[in-house]
A and B are shown apart, each in its own frame.
Chain A
Amino acid sequence: MDRYKEIIPAWERFWETLHRPLSPVIRTNTLRISPLELQKRLEAKGFRLEPLPWDETAFKVEGEIPIGNTVEHWLGYYYVQEATQAFPVRALAPRPGERVLDLCAAPGGKTTQIAQLMENKGLLVANDPAPKRLRALLANLYRLGVLCAVVTGLRGEEFPKGIHFDRVLVDAPCSAEGTARRHPRLRRGAPLGIIRRMAGLQKRLLSHALKLVRPGGIVVYSTCTIAPEENEAVVKYALDQGLAELLPWEPPVPYSPGLTSFSGEEYGPELKKAVRFYPHHFDSEGGFVAVLKRTS
């Protein structure tokens, strides 16, 4: 990741954090149980739960057995979701009764979170073209009791127009450098070839998403990678098509603003409104979130 030395603040701390293990975080399935009730049940089983100060539904968990191996998990009372991964949906801010599209949905961490915020009311389209990952998505939707979702298996860039969505989430396939704490080989950074190939697909997905949302509607673009080619460059490409503007968004945790340039590429001052998360800021993984509003 040496090529990010100039853009990542407190590089030494960042690098050191990548070598530290990450405690799992769970999100209460509020469609089924309250955070307090869940906390009581898991603590009675010997887990230690520490609520995240910025999210009343989420807990950092420690225990002797893997947190995915409990009867409560099997019953759909919670979803194991890393803290950074919860922010794209908070930025999307879906409401009950709306029409929402999750364009790259599997395995459903964010789809189920959207359904919770929609209180199972409205229309939630969950799309993903990968058959194996779709199976995991379905299992999670059924397990958590998501009733407002319709599942499709299309390539996002070919998703048909015709429904005017209020909100679209593009949680794009990416090189996943932000997950290096769990996948140590990513500490050296993703190969540039992969980054370039991902960026091409991401540009197609985000520009298409802007055509699927109604004028005035919101598109959130998110990744779990650090590469500016997959983040700011993708958002700039979509903005240049003249359909959307970038909205400011303040997450409730420390973050860095989006980059205005990298490695000779200019993204422009507008991109400061995007948000970068780094693992050393709140002991998490890395990620990127940009909130776009369709203007015309």
Chain B
Amino acid sequence: MPSSNEQANEALTYFRERFGVEELPGRVVERGDALWLTTASGELPEGIPTIAMGVRLLRRHGRGLKPTSFGLMLLGDRIRAQRVNLSRSELEALLQGRTLTRKDLPPGYVALCFEGEVLGCGHVKGGLLRCQIPRGRRQELLTALSAARRGGV
């Protein structure tokens, strides 16, 4: 399993330049089409097929990189740039698959935030913001938001 300085540098450079992250809380390994963040000491002997190692941070996407939502959530407060704070109604709209017009945002990937916490990945193109959080997770968050409303909070 390749785990070289090159991948670590590539991931760190990406997060530093795009998201203002100064340090990653683990080492970076490349598996398939993705870069993973792990603190596992050592690796399994050759021949044991592994399904995951730590948390997937970035996927290779054409010639670029795309951050994962779990990866951004994990980096949380380390993310200093491209944080987009959303109101509850904006968040619900995005989770329902709608776009928001945000001419103020530069194009590319952003960290969607709610009440100060990073939830996951969004994407801006031509002034339109879209949610990149996977469908199942989006649905769960919508359920949680509407349960909280019914619960009176």
Cβ–Cβ contact B45 & A46, under 8 A: no
Cβ–Cβ contact B144 & A74, under 8 A: yes
Contacts of A142 in B (CB 8 A): 55-56, 70, 74
Cβ–Cβ contact A148 & B39, under 8 A: yes
Which residues of A136-171 have CB atoms within 8 Å of chain B's CB atoms? 138, 141-143, 145-154, 160, 162-163
- Alpha-carbon gap, A73 to B137, bound state (A): 12
Cβ–Cβ contact B51 & A152, under 8 A: yes
Cβ–Cβ contact B45 & A145, under 8 A: no
Cβ–Cβ contact B152 & A124, under 8 A: no
In the complex, whether B129 has a CB less than 8 A from a CB of chain A is no
The 8 A CB mask of A42-78 against B (1 = contact, 0 = none) is: 0011100000000000000001111001110111100
Cβ–Cβ contact B153 & A46, under 8 A: yes
In the complex, whether A114 has a CB less than 8 A from a CB of chain B is no
Q: Which residue of A lies closest to B119 (CB)?
A: A75
In the complex, whether A134 has a CB less than 8 A from a CB of chain B is yes
Interface-facing stretch out of A115-123, A248-256, A275-283: A115-123
Q: Which residue of A lies closest to B115 (CB)?
A: A71
Q: What distance in Å separates the Cβ of B66 from its nearest Cβ neighbour in chain A?
A: 16
Q: Given known contacts A121-B41, A148-B40, is B52 in contact with A141 (CB within 8 Å)?
A: yes
Contacts of B114 in A (CB 8 A): 71
Q: Which residue of A lies closest to B37 (CB)?
A: A147
Cβ–Cβ contact B73 & A45, under 8 A: no
Cβ–Cβ contact A163 & B44, under 8 A: yes
Contacts of A46 in B (CB 8 A): 151-153
In the complex, whether B42 has a CB less than 8 A from a CB of chain A is yes
Q: Given known contacts A66-B147, A75-B117, is B53 in contact with A150 (CB within 8 Å)?
A: yes
Cβ–Cβ contact A65 & B148, under 8 A: yes
Contacts of B74 in A (CB 8 A): 142, 145, 147
Per the CB 8 Å criterion, the residue count for chain A at the interface is 40
Contacts of A151 in B (CB 8 A): 50-53
Cβ–Cβ contact A45 & B38, under 8 A: no
Cβ–Cβ contact A97 & B54, under 8 A: no
The dominant DSSP class at the A interface is loop
Of B41, B44, B144, B152, the residue contacting A122 (CB under 8 A) is B41
Cβ–Cβ contact A152 & B49, under 8 A: yes
Cβ–Cβ contact B141 & A71, under 8 A: yes
Which residues of A153-204 have CB atoms within 8 Å of chain B's CB atoms? 153-154, 160, 162-163
Contacts of A99 in B (CB 8 A): 41-42
Contacts of A141 in B (CB 8 A): 52, 55
In the complex, whether A125 has a CB less than 8 A from a CB of chain B is yes
Cβ–Cβ contact A152 & B48, under 8 A: yes
Of B44, B55, B148, the residue contacting A152 (CB under 8 A) is B44
Cβ–Cβ contact A65 & B52, under 8 A: no
Contacts of B153 in A (CB 8 A): 44-46
Q: Which residue of B lies closest to A44 (CB)?
A: B153
Which residues of B113-153 have CB atoms within 8 Å of chain A's CB atoms? 114, 117, 119, 137, 140-141, 143-145, 147-148, 150-153
Q: What distance in Å separates the Cβ of A94 from its nearest Cβ neighbour in chain B?
A: 13
- Alpha-carbon gap, A143 to B120, bound state (A): 11
Cβ–Cβ contact B38 & A138, under 8 A: no
8 closest Cβ pairs, A-B complex? A142-B70, A151-B52, A147-B39, A69-B147, A65-B147, A151-B51, A147-B54, A45-B153
Q: A65-B148, A74-B144, A152-B50 provided; 8 other pairs, C-beta below 8 A?
A: A64-B152, A65-B150, A65-B151, A76-B73, A123-B41, A150-B38, A151-B50, A152-B49
25 A-B Cβ contacts within 8 A? A45-B148, A45-B151, A63-B151, A64-B151, A71-B114, A71-B141, A71-B148, A74-B140, A97-B41, A99-B41, A99-B42, A122-B40, A134-B51, A141-B55, A142-B55, A147-B37, A147-B55, A147-B74, A148-B54, A149-B54, A150-B38, A150-B53, A151-B50, A152-B48, A160-B48
